[in-house]
Amino acid sequence: MLARLTRSVPALCRALHTQPNSTTAALELIRSQPSQYIIANFVGRKYILTPRDVLTVPRLRDVDVGDVLALDEIHELGSREYTLRGNPTISPSRVRVQATVIEHTKGKMEFIFKKKRRKGYQKTITHKQPYTRLRIGEIEIPS
Amino acid sequence: MATLFRGQLRSFPANGHAAFVPQIRKLVFECCDRWPSSENTRSYLFTRLVELARQNPHVEIVVRQRIHREPIIRGFYVNNRDKVVPLNGLSLAEINQKVHLLLDSSGAKIKHLKRRNVESTTESTRGIWSGLHADRPAL
């Protein structure tokens, strides 16, 4: 039992005696860790995002391939042991994340089959949903 | 000193992360000089092609003859794939739509994207929970 206690104590101790007393101190702690994630609102939906990942959303019509978008609704910024939650969002001056539009594509062909039995009515609708894919850039926490 | 394997030094592509490289490299318009099926394609080439080339300096635009056949447009991409779109029976606006379809694409094979919201190669930031390394639950 003592062995089990001591195994969990180092992480607990570290989290206890590193209570940040300001947002800047909290951001310093998060920045000191090797990797970070954000929870951002994009086109009305929340996603957990890390650098270098590809986000697929329904087609954005007013955006060109190669355009860089700044994510301005970041609800949460976290790392392995620390999390900063905004109220409701974290100010863009504290965290900066950019997303680059890499392509506008269409999904695979969907076949929608409709039929009313004994009425001679049937039809097949073919549909390809258009999407926009974005690559998430680095999470910048300016000091 | 731990051995450093050559495989550990490789980097993984992430187009758009630090720098964005447009994936389309060449656009080839092929049409016939005489047949009426190429009429709209010919008028597109005469009226809108130069403007298109100016707006997309990264794309090499080629016009080829394809006699006694329907007009097509071929897009060549950086991943060595090509996309061929027929322009038979399309109006000028529809031809413009197809041209932009090729310009906006990345050349990757079409895949089912409905349930693929976030595709990530980074490891989990908060770590993965393990029952063997967690506190024993107490009632």
DSSP of A45-77: EEEEE-TT-EEEEE--TT--TT-EEE---EEEE
Dump pLDDT digits (tens) for B59-103.
999 999 999 999 999 999 999 999 999 999 999 999 999 999 999
Which of B11, B12, B15, B20 to mutate to test binding with chain A, by most A CBs within 10 Å of its CB?
B20
Q: What is the pLDDT of residue A113?
A: 98
Cα nearest neighbour of A67 on chain B: B20
A103 CB burial (10 A radius; 0-12, 13-18, 19+): buried
User: How far are the Cα atoms of A35, A61, B31, B41, B121 from residue B95, in angstroms, in the given order?
Assistant: 46, 18, 13, 7, 37
Q: What is the pLDDT of residue B7?
A: 86
> How remote is the C-alpha of B37 from its chain's centroid?
27
Angle between helix B39-47 and B92-104 (nearest 10): 70
What is the Cα–Cα distance from B106 to A117, expressed in whole angstroms? 43
| Cis preceding-peptide flag for A88 (omega within 30 of 0) | yes
Do the chains contact at A108 and B15, CB–CB below 8 Å? no
Do the chains contact at B15 and A102, CB–CB below 8 Å? yes
List, in sequence order, every residue forming a beta bridge with A84; answer none if it has no partner: A77
Q: What is the pLDDT of residue A6?
A: 41
Which residues does chain B have within 8 Å of residue A54's beta carbon, measured at their own beta carbons? 118-120
Q: What is the pLDDT of residue A10?
A: 52
Cα nearest neighbour of A139 on chain B: B17
Specify the pairing of strand A37-42 against strand B60-65: unpaired
Sequence-separated (6 or more) residues with CB below 8 Å from residue B94: none
- What are the structure tokens assigned to A83, written together? 């999390």
Dump pLDDT digits (tens) for B14-25.
999 999 999 999
Which of B117, B121, B123 to mutate to test binding with chain A, by most A CBs within 10 Å of its CB?
B117
